Chains A and B, each alone.
Chain A
Amino acid sequence: MMAQILALFVLGFIFPNPHPHFWWQKIPAFDIFFGFLVSILLIVFAKWLAHNWLLKDKDYYNHD
């Protein structure tokens, strides 16, 4: 997988965004960092939320 990531990194420099609207769109290969960081952050955040608040016993709604 490292080879593919490296190739995509290089391609990011060859094909920059021709019409950047925001500053981050000017960074070459921005999505490499964004994808990696966000996927990890999302998992960690969702898991944290689940353990601390959202997850309940499966009979939670069946208690009368």
Chain B
Amino acid sequence: MINLPPAFIYIIGALLIPLVRVRRLQQAIALLIPILAMITLWQMPQGVYWQMRFLDYDLILGRVDKLSLLFAYIFVIISFIGMLYAIHIKEMGQHVAAYLYVGSTLGVVFAGDLFSLFFFWEIMAAASVFLIWYNKTEASLKAGFRYALVHLFGGAILLGGIVMQVSNTGSILFNPFDLSTLAAKFILFGFLINAAVPPLHAWLPDAYPEGTITGSVFMTAFTTKSAVYVLARSFAGTEILIWLGAIMALYGVIYAVIEKDIRRLLSYHIVSQVGYMVCAVGIGTEMALNGAGAHAFCHILYKAVLFMGMGAVIQMTGRRNILDLKGRHLYKKMPLTLGLYMVGAFSISAVPLFNGFVSKTMIVAAAGSSHLPIIEIMLHLASVGTFLSVGLKLPWGVWFGKPDGSEDEIAEAKEPPLNMQLGMGIGALLCIITGIFPETLYKLLPYKVEFHPYTPNHIVASLQLLVLTLAGFWIYRDKLMAGEKSISLDTDWFYRVFGRAVLNFCLYPLNRFRDLVQSAFVSRTRTIASLSKHPYALLELFWYTLSGERKTMAELLQRPYDEKDYRLPVGIGVCASLIFLFIYALVYMRVAS
């Protein structure tokens, strides 16, 4: 239909939206863009095309295969759902930022060379930061700056890697890297920052809870999952990723048990879930890579539903902390939101018939068939924590919870606007469809699938795990809900506290030292400068020193220069010239003979 890379459909569309003055038309265009992109995706044949010549290199904007199409499909689907959820927003800048963000992510997905990859990678960071800043609070402004700095740092590292790679190999093709080279290590580091791998992850739980209600829904989908895509594309089978991924899965889970801010809790579960994908990419077998792709697909859907549900709660109640929501019987006022949220919660917890079950079990099974016992146990452990926090603690704290008498009523809360309900509804429906009919998803995966999630053993084992997690939760439910509002330390401490200490060191001790050095130089320079007004002072100093009289330079300089003091008779000059001439003549004759 249109021979235009999907990235440009979004980018051109994003620039078009503010030019239209009629609001209905703006909304129509915003919803039409993903549909147009989806049609384009359907018609894109596999292969390599959309090549452009740039500075003696071939840029490839269309490297299309099953892996890139899988990610592109889900990115386009979620952009539609996210935009539907956000369509009531009048501030067009938010839609523009969101679509620049989506477009650049699609650019990353179809990039066949490192230059265009880097180009879109940077737009992604620049566009997404506005989804944080549009929240217009002081906290979001600061969090946005930290987010931008981390991603610019990551981008710079990535660029460094790309430059080394290109100068080493002479090729800008984006293909699997050899990790023994320094270039590949830099590139991997850049990718790992976007994948939010600890200790490089703190930007995610720092920034996502501070984004706008609707903007954060977009953010949950694109940055980390595009990083999973590039890792799967270029670092599949890298052993260190297995361990990093498994640690990630547990790290997020432990923090989520502590966390009380509802979107920050969900953010830690992004870290945890992306851990499964990174681990699968590290395992690198066909089954594991299928699992990584399938889990990215499912994760994007259910995580959007979860963020939309919690976003609706924040929007309708103005509260974002479990401690402000528990015991207020919100389930009576927002039952639909609760129901749709629970679909997302059951999906992330891998309850049978929901989509997490068909993708997460694939990764755990891949760890099993690759004989990685510790990894299998770690991922299993993380599954328990996922249901505990997202499936039990969060809905219990937000919609139910035991009142202790101190609660204020949330009178104003009701279900969110229709478009937000529709967005959540479509997301939840897709979670269920892919959960009940996994073949719809499996046929999109890069390799042939020989995995059957719905065996009696799988189902029974999952239910055992879930029901007993529920039992554990029930025993400790009040302990989990208790506490004061507080923050949990994470690795952002290093740039927030230690970074400030470095800044203070530069501002005070280091600056004082600079002052010291500068003033020392300035005073010497001043002496030399004043000498130019009174050049004889140096001679006089020399004279006084010879004659044993103690005088300082400053004393001598105090007396202004007076020409008459130093004027000598003409005869001395003539005499000196004659002596000089005589010596010259002597030397000349000596040399000549």
Interfacial residues, chain A to chain B (CB-CB below 8 A) = 1, 4-5, 8-9, 11-12, 14-18, 21-22, 24-25, 29-36, 38-40, 42-43, 45-47, 49-50, 53-58, 60-61
Which residues of A have CB within 8 Å of B474?
1
Which secondary structure dominates chain A's binding surface? helix
Q: How far is the CA of A30 from the CA of B510 in the complex (A)?
A: 61
One of A14, A43, A55, A60 near B472 (C-beta < 8 A) = A43
Q: Of residues B376, B381, B464, B465, which shows the largest number of chain A Cβ atoms within 10 Å of its Cβ? A: B464
One of A9, A29, A40, A55 near B476 (C-beta < 8 A) = A40
| Interchain CB contact under 8 A, B254 and A42 | yes
State how many residues of chain B have any CB contact under 8 Å with chain A. Answer: 48
Q: From B461, which residue of chain A is reached at the shortest CB distance?
A: A31
| Interchain CB contact under 8 A, B487 and A36 | no
One of B371, B373, B487 near A60 (C-beta < 8 A) = B487
With contacts A16-B457, A55-B488, A58-B485 taken as known, whether A40 is within 8 angstroms of B472 at the C-beta atoms is: yes
Which secondary structure dominates chain B's binding surface? helix
Q: How far is the CA of A36 from the CA of B257 in the complex (A)?
A: 16
Q: How far is the CA of A14 from the CA of B463 in the complex (A)?
A: 14
| Interchain CB contact under 8 A, A36 and B368 | no
| Interchain CB contact under 8 A, B455 and A18 | yes
| Interchain CB contact under 8 A, B381 and A61 | no
| Interchain CB contact under 8 A, B472 and A50 | no
| Interchain CB contact under 8 A, B469 and A35 | yes
One of B255, B381, B497 near A38 (C-beta < 8 A) = B381
Which residues of A have CB within 8 Å of B488?
50, 54-56
Q: From B474, which residue of chain A is reached at the shortest CB distance?
A: A1
Which residues of B have CB within 8 Å of A33?
468
| Interchain CB contact under 8 A, A12 and B460 | yes
Q: From B370, which residue of chain A is reached at the shortest CB distance?
A: A21
User: Chain A nearest CB: distance from B176 CB in Å?
Assistant: 28
| Interchain CB contact under 8 A, B468 and A54 | no
| Interchain CB contact under 8 A, B496 and A11 | no
One of A9, A35, A42, A58 near B466 (C-beta < 8 A) = A35
| Interchain CB contact under 8 A, B376 and A21 | yes
Q: How far is the CA of A17 from the CA of B457 in the complex (A)?
A: 6
| Interchain CB contact under 8 A, A56 and B257 | no
Q: How far is the CA of A50 from the CA of B473 in the complex (A)?
A: 18
| Interchain CB contact under 8 A, B468 and A36 | yes
User: Chain A nearest CB: distance from B450 CB in Å?
Assistant: 12
User: Chain B nearest CB: distance from A56 CB in Å?
Assistant: 6
Q: Known pairs A43-B473, A55-B487; list 5 more (Cβ under 8 Å).
A: A8-B460, A12-B460, A14-B460, A35-B468, A43-B479
Contact with A along B380-391 (1 / 0, CB 8 A): 110011001000
One of B456, B468, B489 near A15 (C-beta < 8 A) = B456
Q: How far is the CA of A18 from the CA of B456 in the complex (A)?
A: 10
With contacts A22-B368, A50-B488, A56-B489 taken as known, whether A32 is within 8 angstroms of B388 at the C-beta atoms is: no
Contact with A along B569-582 (1 / 0, CB 8 A): 00000000000000
Q: Of residues B461, B462, B479, B487, which shows the largest number of chain A Cβ atoms within 10 Å of its Cβ? A: B461
| Interchain CB contact under 8 A, B258 and A5 | no
| Interchain CB contact under 8 A, B464 and A21 | no
Which residues of B have CB within 8 Å of A16?
457
Which residues of B have CB within 8 Å of A1?
467, 470-471, 474
One of B254, B388, B483 near A49 (C-beta < 8 A) = B254
Q: From A5, which residue of chain B is reached at the shortest CB distance?
A: B467
One of A15, A22, A35, A54 near B460 (C-beta < 8 A) = A15
- A-B contacts, 24 listed (Cβ < 8 Å): A12-B461, A14-B460, A15-B460, A18-B455, A21-B376, A24-B377, A31-B464, A31-B465, A35-B472, A36-B471, A38-B384, A38-B385, A39-B384, A42-B385, A43-B388, A45-B254, A46-B254, A46-B255, A47-B257, A47-B258, A49-B258, A50-B488, A56-B486, A60-B489
